Amino acid sequence: MTQDGAWVLAEAFDRAAPSYDAMVALSPGYHAQLRTAAQTLVDEVPAGQQEARILDLGCGSGASTAALLAAWPQGRPLRLTGVDASAGMVAQAREKQWPAEVDWRVADAAAYLRELPDQSVSGVLAAYLLRNVAERDELLAQISRVLVPGGVLVLHDYSVAGSLRARAVWAAVCHGVIIPLAAIKRSDVPLHRYLYASVRDFDSIGGVCARMQQAGLTEVRHRSYPGWQNHVVHTAVGHAPA
């Protein structure tokens, strides 16, 4: 997908933005899994910095941003920036109440990162972002560049390519529940069809980890979650070399 294509996708998320929170609330484990991913990042951010700078790339309507804030230790200085290509999603996020240390940017993630200095970011959370990016290696390379030594990247996303069972489960859930429910609720059915195809065609979790390592990240590992989402939803972690 070209950059222009990415912004077409952003416009689809603009249309879905008013109902997005209600839609994801129907997904079992969605918020609990985001909290797990956010806690992983907070636990592994390098200590000793005067103020940790954290990026929430693909922040959407702010659910992942809220998860990061909830996990962050009280009293530890923080600057937290939510970045998303969808102006509508960022508008939904801005309507909620946030402390002063949170700010927002409407921008393509890779383009935003290119403007940042080397080794200027303590940690990056990217939830449900990487599969929506055409230049995945470029995005990971930019993240690796801006992370401080020992800085942490946490990726959280669907990935089913490595498991026949997971592929079958994903197809059944999308065609049997998600897409029909979108039609009933008069939601954006093409966006939900895109969701199905984007996950179906995305890298295996092993492929994601390999991309992270090729970008220069170390200590790369991943985990999945119990229930029907086992081998469907994953959290991957990597660090900039110390």
| Helices 205-214/136-146 angle, 10° precision | 50
Q: Provide the whole-model pTM.
A: 0.92
Kindly report, residue by residue over 167-224, the tens digit of the pLDDT.
999 999 888 877 787 666 666 667 778 888 999 999 999 999 999 999 999 999 999 9
151 falls in which pLDDT band (50, 70, 90)? very high
Average pLDDT over residues 19-26: 72
131 falls in which pLDDT band (50, 70, 90)? very high
Measured distance CA(131)–CA(74) in Å, rounded: 33
Which residue has better confidence, 22 or 149? Answer: 149
Report the percent of the chain where pLDDT is more than 90. 74
Q: What is the pLDDT of residue 2?
A: 37
Which residue has better confidence, 124 or 11? Answer: 124
148 falls in which pLDDT band (50, 70, 90)? very high
Q: What is the pLDDT of residue 14?
A: 84
Encoded tokens for 152? 């942490």
In the predicted structure, residue 119 carries a pLDDT above the cut 80: yes
Measured distance CA(77)–CA(32) in Å, rounded: 25
Domains of the chain: 3-160+203-239 (3.40.50.150)
Q: What is the pLDDT of residue 185?
A: 63
Residue whose entry in the numeric block shows the structure tokens 């997904």:
27
User: Which 3-state string (H, E, C) describes the chain?
Assistant: CCHHHHHHHHHHHHHHHHHHHHHHCCCCCHHHHHHHHHHHHHHHCCCCCCCEEEEEECCCCCHHHHHHHHHCCCCCCEEEEEEECCHHHHHHHHCCCCCCCEEEEECCHHHHHHCCCCCCEEEEEEECCHHHCCCHHHHHHHHHHHEEEEEEEEEEEECCCCCHHHHHHHHHHHHHHHHHHHHHCCCCHHHHHHHHHHHHCCCCHHHHHHHHHHCCCEEEEEEECCHHHCCCEEEEEEECCC
Q: What is the pLDDT of residue 187?
A: 63
3 falls in which pLDDT band (50, 70, 90)? very low
CB 191 within 8 A of CB 15: yes
Which residue has better confidence, 79 or 16? Answer: 79
In the predicted structure, residue 227 carries a pLDDT above the cut 80: yes
What value does the mean pLDDT of the chain take? 91
The Cβ-side half-sphere exposure at 218, using a 13 Å CA radius, reads 7
Kindly report, residue by residue over 82-101, the tens digit of the pLDDT.
999 999 999 999 999 999 99
Kindly report, residue by residue over 165-180, the tens digit of the pLDDT.
999 999 998 888 777 8
CB 148 within 8 A of CB 48: no
Encoded tokens for 189? 């059915």
